[in-house]
Structure 1
Amino acid sequence: MKVTNEFLIPFLGLKLGKHQFEYQINKAFFDHFEYDEFDSSAIKVNLVLDKQSTMLELNFKHSGTINVPCDVTNEMFDLPIKGKLKLIVRFGEKFNDENEELLILPFGEHQVDVSQYIYEMIVLSIPLKRVSPGAKDKKALEKLNNIEVKDEQEVKEEEIDPRWAALKKLLTDK
């Protein structure tokens, strides 16, 4: 992914305390990551950066919709998604992002790229099964229409094996 200046936060010039950032995420953002699971998106990401003397605390929250095909009917619909992520940024000898909740930046670094974290937060909030609200109603109606009401006698007659019916006949012949 090509880093854009929009997602680079220069924390060196910021005062200690909380700072708020807001991003509008659309399909072009996901195209940079070569992610094409949906057609369009309208997602708002709020980021609160809490700068402290020895570390940074990043709190991400997102909400919005993505346009995906329904797994049941294959019709396109807007799926609402939301989620949050907390990230601690500390400083050390070398870069380390092995831990998903802790990022270690080398001493002397003056900015942090948040695009990868926004991408992962959004992608992980998308459910595996995507069913449109209309598909649930259609499915339930189809099941109700397919159910036939049978009399108790019909059910009992269908359940009796013909071999047992012959044996029962012997009992009633006495």
Structure 2
Amino acid sequence: MKQKEFNIPFSGLKQGKHHFNYQIDNTFFDSFGYDEFNAADVNLDVVLYKSSTMLELDLEASGTVNVNCDITSEPYEQPIDGELHLVVKFGEEFNDEDDEILILPHGEHQLNIAQYVYEMLVLAVPQKRIHPGIEDGTLQSEVLDRLNELRPKEKRTDKEENDPRWDELKKLLTDK
């Protein structure tokens, strides 16, 4: 089983609230064969509510992952935050088809949350990774310089001039 330190042995716990804390670095993502991050520094807090019939887990993560910018390939620190609420019930057999409800077989005494943590953190990273230095103009990069050179130079100066092809369509809007 992946990441034994993410096993939560719930059978010995009293009913009520229990706290767990994890520090996640890149070895965690490496164990899943995920190599999109250059580095990771994420703090994960887990609160487990144990009742006689079920478990509820609240996972909260925050930290940074070092990723390469999609535009310039420059590495940068991307802040990430993630939250997940998971309900664990007991049944005849293991079932994790529902994203928010996990069914463990009766008699099970521990729960591994590594897969849930992995998915939550990977999904917390924006689809498009853009170095903050691009937005504020502080990033000096050959790639950016080259992109600026290739940017179209001409700009439409007369915004009032209409394209005659659109005029006929605009008439349709007023001919009601």
Sort the TM-score into its range (normalised by shorter chain).
0.7 to 0.9
Task: Please name the residue that 2:30 is paired with.
Answer: 31
The residue that corresponds to 2:169 in the other structure is none
Look up the equivalent residue of 1:8 and give its one-letter code: N
CA RMSD of aligned residues (A): 2.3
- Which residue number in structure 2 is paired with residue 17 of structure 1? 16
Partner of 1:63: 62
> Does structure 1 retain, via aligned residues, the 8 Å contact 2:40–2:64?
yes
- In the alignment, residue 71 of structure 1 is paired with which amino acid? D
Q: How does 1:77-92 map to 2 (within 5 A)?
A: 77-92=76-91
Q: Letter of the aligned partner of 1:108 in structure 2?
A: G
SS of the residue 2:126 aligns to: coil
Residues 123-152 of structure 1 show CA distances to partners (whole Å, capped at 9, x for unaligned) of 11111101111111238xx69xx87899x8
Give the Cα–Cα distance (whole angstroms) in 1 for the partners of residues 87 and 128 of structure 2.
Answer: 31
Any unmatched runs of 5+ in structure 1? 160-174
What pairs with 1:43-58 in structure 2 (closer than 5 Å)? 43-58=42-57
Identify the residue that residue 174 of structure 2 maps to in structure 1.
none
Aligned residues of 2:2 and 2:31 also touching (Cα < 8 A): no
> How many pairs align?
149
Report what 1:116 is aligned to. Answer: 115
TM-score normalised to structure 1 length: 0.79
Identity over aligned pairs, percent: 53
Distance 1:21 1:28 in 2: 19
User: Which structure: larger Rg?
Assistant: 1
- Verify the 8 A CA contact 1:72 1:135 in the aligned structure 2: no
Residue 62 of structure 2 aligns with an amino acid whose one-letter code is S
Give 1:7's aligned residue: 6
Structure with a larger share of its residues in helix: 1
Deviation at 1:69, TM superposition (A): 0.8
Alignment check: 8 A CA contact 2:3 2:28 kept: no
Amino acid in structure 1 at the alignment position of 2:49: D
Query: Is residue 73–residue 135 contact of structure 1 (8 Å, CA) maintained in 2?
Result: no
